[in-house]
Structure 1
Amino acid sequence: MQQEAELVLEAVTEFMRYIRLYVRDWEEAYLRFTVSEESSGIAVTYLAGHEAHFVDSDDEHEIEVMSLLSNCLAELQRKLGFKVALLIVRPSNDFKVLYEHRDSSRWEITKLDGRSGIPEGYLRRSW
């Protein structure tokens, strides 16, 4: 379990650095990693002013960080067998990592169809 804990800390640390580099005055940030036989993917939003926003960057550093996070979380997935992982971080360095082993649509992050951009079904008060 130590190797899994190290992977979690690496992912959380990189995600926290990434958010702090691109975002000011944020309250909470979310990274949703999904994996299936066909593909894997990452979605990231952050909460500021009680509204979720997508990170506005599209540079080489972002691609590098997302690749590192994807590799780290894919390795963690191979060890733990989840379908979805949700990383939640706060500026105070608090973090939470949630795993879903059955429902690959859990905690979807989208603003389509009037949705908020906060992971679906995630309750902020559940800390």
Structure 2
Amino acid sequence: MSDESAKYIIELAKDLFATMRVQNPLWQVAYFRYAKFIGSTSASASYRTACEVELLSVFQHTEFFRRAKNLSDNIFLSLDKNTGMFLLVINKNLDYSVEFEYEDPDKWEITKRNGASGIPIGYEGK
């Protein structure tokens, strides 16, 4: 990872952290997934409290998702990648991790469809 991409990731982590503090003060862990493949991009986010997992609404958090898309595009540019995805995970202590995937476009999908929990599918972290 380059210094430039690390700068964008840190900025995105801080932005997600700030959004979560306003969204729900009881949040414990938040997840942000960005996918960029030929002809399409997608961004989704969710968060976990002690009792539940909620999706972060694109309609209620338009500014966050606009900034997150711009930062995410810059991450891919700084890595010299045209396609792929990443999953950013952050907790209320501001500890974060990021994982990248360049092959499987369905990895870490954030959804509640078909009985999914809202936690990224296949994510095995904390």
Would the aligned equivalents of 1:23 and 1:55 in 2 still touch at CA under 8 Å? no
Residues 22 and 57 of structure 1 are in contact (CA less than 8 Å); yes or no, is this contact kept in structure 2?
A: no
The 1:4/1:57 distance shift into structure 2, 3 A limit, reads closer
Normalised TM-score (structure 2): 0.89
Higher helix share: 1
In the aligned structure 1, how far is the partner of 2:38 from the partner of 2:97? 26
Write out the 4+ residue segments of structure 1 that deviate beyond 4 Å after TM superposition. none
Indicate yes or no: 2:114 matched with 1:117. no
The one-character-per-residue Cα deviations of 1:72-116 (angstroms, maximum 9, x if unpaired) are: 101111232251110101001100111101111110111111111
* Residue 74 in structure 1 maps to residue 85 in structure 2: no
- Point out where structure 2 has 5 or more consecutive residues left out of the alignment: none
**What residue identity is the alignment partner of 2:109?**
E
Q: Distance in 1 between matches of 2:57 and 2:71?
A: 23
Q: Which moved more, 1:74-83 or 1:30-39?
A: 74-83
In 1, Cα distance between equivalents of 2:57 and 2:84: 27
| Distance in structure 1 (CA, Å) of the matches to 2:109 and 2:68 | 18
For residue 21 of structure 1, report the CA deviation from its aligned partner. 1.1
Question: How many equivalent pairs are there?
Answer: 123
**Identical amino acids, percent of aligned pairs:** 25
The one-letter code matched in structure 2 to 1:35 is: K
- RMSD value, Cα: 1.6
How many Å apart are 1:55 and its aligned residue? 2.8
Q: Structure 2 CA distance, aligned partners of 1:5 and 1:49?
A: 30
- CA–CA separation in structure 1 for the residues paired with 2:51 and 2:30: 12
C-alpha displacement of 1:3: 1.0
Q: Take 1:46 and 1:102, find their aligned partners in 2: how far apart are those partners? A: 25
Match of 2:26 in 1: 25
1:12–1:95 CA contact under 8 A, matched in 2? yes
Q: Distance in 2 between matches of 1:112 and 1:40?
A: 19
CA contact (8 A) 2:58 2:65 kept: no
CA distance in 1, matches of 2:56, 2:64: 13
* Distance (Å, rounded) in 1 between the aligned partners of 2:14 and 2:87: 14
Question: Which residue of 1 is the match for residue 5 of structure 2?
Answer: 4
Aligned partner of residue 124 in structure 1, secondary structure: coil
Amino acid at match of 2:113: L
Q: What is the TM-score of this pair, normalised by structure 1? A: 0.88
